[in-house]
Amino acid sequence: MPLSAIQPNCYNELLQQKVAALRPAFDALGAPDGTIYASPREGFRLRVEFRIWHEGDRMFYAMFRPGEPKIPLPVERFPIASQAIQALMPLLLSSLTGNERLRRKLFQVEFLSTLSGDMLVTLIYHKALDDAWLVDAHSLAKALGINLVGRSRKQKLVIGRDWVEENLQVGHHRYHYRQPEQAFTQPNGCVNQQMLAWAVTASSGLAGDLLELYCGIGNFTLPLASCFDRILATEVSKAATRAALVNLQENQIGNVAFARLSAEEMTQALNGVRPFRRLAKLPVPLSDYRLDTLLVDPPRAGLDSATLALAAHFPSIIYISCSPDTLLGNLTQLRTTHTIKRLAFFDQFPYTPHLECGVLLSRSSP
């Protein structure tokens, strides 16, 4: 995103334009009017990353225009980053610039913060990290009061923790999340809380058990546990699955089971194509679940044909999408079996063309 695109004074108008561009396509599918969930105008991104550019003794954060990877654009301030990241950026850069061991061959810096005030910084290098680097990195982390990870090829050195602790408020409930460095987390914490609240409202009155695909660290799983008898949640990432299990335990939720399976594998298991040993530890056999609702939050590619075919058999579907284009394509197919009952637009990425969408579908009467 070019910094020139950040126009807080025009935020409402820009958001309305994004939504207006999408409405006709949803109208054509018979969707109801969508609810719009706005973002804070500034300070909303909890995770950002910058290249580090070296020019002699000078070093600076850099971004690049598409197609121009060798022409750095210095970043002196980044108003869409969280206030904690904005405050840390100059302090970190000054500390790194003044330390030859920490600055040499430093390639990229990644910031991961939370609404709760936790912070993790990852430094990525084009060199091996030795004991001398580790000593200076410990001093840096202590001076700045941060958790720090150093990465190089086949190396990962952790000072403090390689995760952050987050607390999200959903209605009257507060949920605690461990968010690992390399697992996906929603970058806009305020909008994420709105998404979770919308999903809980959309689940009101739905019966039986929930099957959740692409559950990640349990972002939707935890607040939705109170809406269903049981939840069976699947995720393919090892780091995310480990965090999801920790989050389940720390929130003392007892009606959720996690399985490390891809959406394709879960579809095969439900269709009886083949058994999976990773399902053997479920608290009850897979056949005992009454899976009446499906929740999906897929990557930009959307749902594959097999998962779409599986979804067609569910009485209710909650679809969270980071790509309206693929969502609309999937809805065109699901429309043959389901009706769109709810629609929401979540502005996770202000000042860009991107919108997240939430859809509740109910199976149409024969």
Task: Tell me: do 37 and 60 sit in the same domain.
Answer: no
- pLDDT for the residue numbered 182: 86
Task: Tell me: do 63 and 102 sit in the same domain.
Answer: yes
Residue 176 included in any domain: no
DSSP 195-257: HHHHHHHHHTT--SEEEEES-TTTTTHHHHGGGSS-EEEE---HHHHHHHHHHHHHTT--SEE
- pLDDT for the residue numbered 363: 94
Mean pLDDT computed over 61-79: 91
Residue reference for tokens 């971004």 = 63
CA–centroid distance for 124 within its chain? 21
Catalytic status, residue 190: no
Out of 164, 194, 222, pick the residue that ends a domain.
164
Out of 118, 135, 164, pick the residue that ends a domain.
164
Report residue 274's pLDDT band, with 50, 70 and 90 as the boundaries. Answer: confident
Residue 177 included in any domain: no
Report residue 2's pLDDT band, with 50, 70 and 90 as the boundaries. Answer: low
pLDDT at 366 over 80: no
* Number of domains composing the chain: 2
Per annotation, catalytic residue among 166, 235, 265, 322: 322
140 close to 101: Cβ distance less than 8 angstroms: no
Query: In Å, what is the CA distance from 326 to each residue of 249, 304, 313?
Result: 34, 10, 20
212 close to 220: Cβ distance less than 8 angstroms: yes
How does DSSP classify residue 45?
B
Per annotation, catalytic residue among 181, 212, 265, 356: 356
Give the model confidence (pLDDT) of 202-250 as tens digits: 999 898 999 999 999 999 999 999 999 999 999 999 999 999 999 999 9
Print the domain residue range for 113: 47-164
Residue reference for tokens 């299990």 = 245
Report residue 1's pLDDT band, with 50, 70 and 90 as the boundaries. Answer: low
Report residue 281's pLDDT band, with 50, 70 and 90 as the boundaries. Answer: confident
Task: Tell me: do 75 and 110 sit in the same domain.
Answer: yes
Task: Tell me: do 256 and 310 sit in the same domain.
Answer: yes
215 close to 221: Cβ distance less than 8 angstroms: yes
Kindly report the average pLDDT of the chain as a whole number.
95
How does DSSP classify residue 43?
S
Residue 61 included in any domain: yes
Distance CA 133, CA 321 (A): 42
Task: Tell me: do 297 and 356 sit in the same domain.
Answer: yes
Nearest to 352 by CA among 14, 72, 69, 92: 14
Task: Tell me: do 305 and 259 sit in the same domain.
Answer: yes
Task: Tell me: do 247 and 341 sit in the same domain.
Answer: yes
Give the model confidence (pLDDT) of 300-350 as tens digits: 999 999 999 999 999 999 999 999 999 999 999 999 999 999 999 999 999
Give the model confidence (pLDDT) of 22-47 as tens digits: 999 999 999 999 999 999 999 999 99
Mean pLDDT computed over 133-140: 98
Nearest to 219 by CA among 262, 261, 175, 252: 175
Distance CA 150, CA 125 (A): 8
> What CATH number does residue 102 fall under?
2.40.50.1070
Out of 112, 133, 164, pick the residue that ends a domain.
164
- Token couple for 212: 């959740």
- pLDDT for the residue numbered 139: 98
Mean pLDDT computed over 266-291: 90
> What CATH number does residue 223 fall under?
3.40.50.150
Catalytic status, residue 68: no
pLDDT at 356 over 90: yes
Residue 173 included in any domain: no
Task: Tell me: do 156 and 58 sit in the same domain.
Answer: yes
Residue 171 included in any domain: no
Alpha carbon dihedral 186, 191, 192, 198, in 10-degree steps, equals: -150
Q: Kind of pairing, strands 163-170 and 155-159?
A: unpaired
Mean pLDDT computed over 15-24: 96
Report residue 290's pLDDT band, with 50, 70 and 90 as the boundaries. Answer: very high
